[in-house]
Structure formats: structure tokens, C-alpha cells
């Protein structure tokens, strides 16, 4: 792999095989390499295997064939990635701060406070999930993912079911954090706009078994894209994918 940011880590998937039941395999020989420091968006139809793929990368699904490496080593031996799920998955009986500490028991109160402040939730650590809006819950989930000090951030449809104004606020938050922490990131989405705002590379999976039908590098840094550029990129990605 090419050299990347010192704090980032690369991902290598080779000849990946994955099946469910007696139907056609979900993956049958899939190859994917993510360079250190890349921000990759995985696009594709519902059910094509995007979420399964990042769960495999995270080591949450090990019933697979082929090889997966994070920084050159298997996921089970690699440092824990930050993982933001499609829904916040906050324990309702724990406060926001306690939910964060659940992922990183050694984190200090000051560390939690700093994370919440970075999420725009300064002073909200004592609230229960039921006292937080949907957008605030997503911010706590992101803070929890960052509490493990990851070098790889995995985001599985983190903006689903939110209005687009709120999504754009979260886009800016995620882009800033990825740049500040020099992270490698993989984002699962069905929205070309998410890729247009956050990705340095957009990949589309289609078919069964899934294959890569589009692999597009985006040169302009996410933070340098104005709304017009984002709309142009989103339209291009949609057209290139046959949308």
C-alpha cells in the first residue's frame, strides 16, 4: 500500500467470500484496498452487502472466506475501529456520558466532556438518550466511536432517517473530525450526496455476488467543496453508477 497519514491505517480485502443459506453468494472473490487516510464511500442498492462488508472489516462477522487486513493484520488482532451504526444504539438507562464510557472504560471525565463539546453537546453528558433529539443521539454515538481513539472510522448509514438540514450539519462535523484526527474512514450510504460531501473516493457495489461497478476518486478535499460543487459531484456519481 502507498504511504498515508501517520495516524491512519489501511484496509485490504482479498478474494472475499460470504454466503447466506443456499442462494447465490453475497461476495465471491471481492477485492478492495483502502489506502491509509482515504475517506471511502460505499454506495449501492439496498441488500447488496455494503453493511455486511464493513462489519467484516470491523471483525464483527468472521464467517467468511478470503483475507481481510487492517494495517496488515487480521481484524481480530487489530486495534478497535470506531464504528457508528445505522441507529445510535444507546443504552436507554445510561446517560450520554455513561454510554461513551461503556466503549472506553479508561476514558476520563475530562475526555468525555471534551468529546461531547466537540460534538456540540457541551454540558449534555448527564442526559439520558430519551432526553436527546435524534440528531443529538447520533452525535453521542459518534463520540462513543471516537472514545476508543481509532485510526479507522466505520460509518454504517449514520444519516438515515434524518432531515437533510441536520444531515448537512453532521456532514460538516464528520468531515472536520476525520481531517483533525487523520483517520481512514469507510462510509456506507445509498445517497450520492453523502459521498459528494465526505468521500475522497466513491465505490459502488451492485449484483449478486456483489462486484464493484464504479470506483471514482475525488480530488477536491471535502472541506473545500461548496454546495454547488457538492451538487455537481452528487449528480456525476449518480450518472456514473447508472442512477
Task: Determine the topology of domain 1-81+151-243 in CATH.
Answer: Rossmann fold (3.40.50)
Question: Average pLDDT of 84-113?
Answer: 95
Give me the DSSP letters along the chain.
Answer: -----TT---EEEEEEEE--TTS--SEEEEEEEE-TT-EEEEEE-TTSSHHHHHHHHHTS----EEEEEETTB-TTTSPPPEEE-SS----TTS-HHHHHHHH-TT--HHHHHHHHHHTT-TT-TT--GGGS-HHHHHHHHHHHHHTT--SEEEEESTTTTS-HHHHHHHHHHHHHHHHHHT-EEEEE-S-HHHHHHH-SEEEEEETTTTEEEEEEE--S-GGG--HHHHHHHHHHHHHHTT-
Residue 47 has pLDDT above 80, yes or no: yes
Assess whether the previous peptide bond of 45 is cis (omega < 30° from 0). Answer: no
State the chain's mean pLDDT as an integer: 91
* Of residues 93 and 238, more confidently modeled: 93
Residue 2 has pLDDT above 50, yes or no: no
| Bridge partners, 152 (sequence order) | 184
Ranges for all domains in the chain classified under CATH 3.40.50.300: 1-81+151-243
pLDDT tens-digit map of 172-184: 999 999 999 999 9
Predicted local confidence at residue 31, as pLDDT: 97
Predicted local confidence at residue 242, as pLDDT: 58
Question: Average pLDDT of 18-32?
Answer: 91
Question: Average pLDDT of 131-139?
Answer: 93
Percent of the chain with pLDDT over 70: 96
Predicted local confidence at residue 16, as pLDDT: 96
Residue 133 has pLDDT above 60, yes or no: yes
pLDDT tens-digit map of 146-162: 999 999 999 999 988 88
Q: What does the block give as the cell for 215?
A: 470506483
pLDDT tens-digit map of 184-238: 999 999 899 999 999 999 999 999 999 999 999 998 888 888 889 999 998 988 8
* Of residues 243 and 118, more confidently modeled: 118
Residue 7 has pLDDT above 80, yes or no: no
**Rounded Cα distance, 142 and 235, in Å:** 28
Predicted local confidence at residue 19, as pLDDT: 92
Amino acid at each position: 500500500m502507498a504511504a498515508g497519514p501517520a495516524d491512519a491505517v489501511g484496509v485490504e480485502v482479498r478474494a472475499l467470500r460470504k454466503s447466506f443459506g443456499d442462494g447465490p453468494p453475497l461476495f465471491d472473490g471481492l477485492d478492495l484496498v483502502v489506502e491509509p487516510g482515504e475517506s471511502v464511500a460505499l454506495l449501492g442498492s439496498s441488500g447488496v452487502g455494503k453493511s455486511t462488508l464493513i462489519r467484516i472489516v470491523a471483525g464483527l462477522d468472521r464467517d467468511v472466506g478470503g483475507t481481510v487486513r487492517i494495517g496488515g493484520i487480521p481484524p481480530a488482532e487489530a486495534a478497535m475501529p470506531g464504528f457508528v451504526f445505522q441507529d445510535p444504539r444507546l443504552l436507554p438507562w445510561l446517560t450520554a456520558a455513561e454510554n461513551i464510557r461503556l466503549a472506553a472504560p479508561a476514558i476520563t471525565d475530562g475526555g468525555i466532556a471534551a468529546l461531547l463539546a466537540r460534538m456540540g453537546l457541551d454540558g449534555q453528558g448527564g442526559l439520558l438518550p430519551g432526553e436527546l433529539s435524534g440528531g443529538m443521539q447520533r452525535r453521542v454515538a459518534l463520540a462513543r466511536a471516537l472514545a476508543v481513539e481509532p485510526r479507522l472510522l466505520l460509518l454504517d448509514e449514520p444519516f438515515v432517517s434524518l432531515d437533510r438540514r441536520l444531515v448537512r450539519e453532521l456532514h460538516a462535523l464528520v468531515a472536520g473530525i476525520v481531517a483533525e484526527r487523520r483517520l481512514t474512514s469507510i462510509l456506507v450510504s445509498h445517497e450520492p450526496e453523502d459521498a459528494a460531501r465526505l468521500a475522497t473516493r466513491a465505490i459502488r457495489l451492485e449484483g449478486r455476488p456483489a462486484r464493484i461497478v464504479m470506483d471514482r476518486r475525488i480530488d477536491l478535499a471535502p472541506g473545500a467543496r461548496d454546495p454547488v460543487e457538492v451538487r455537481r459531484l452528487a449528480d456525476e456519481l449518480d450518472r456514473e453508477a447508472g442512477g
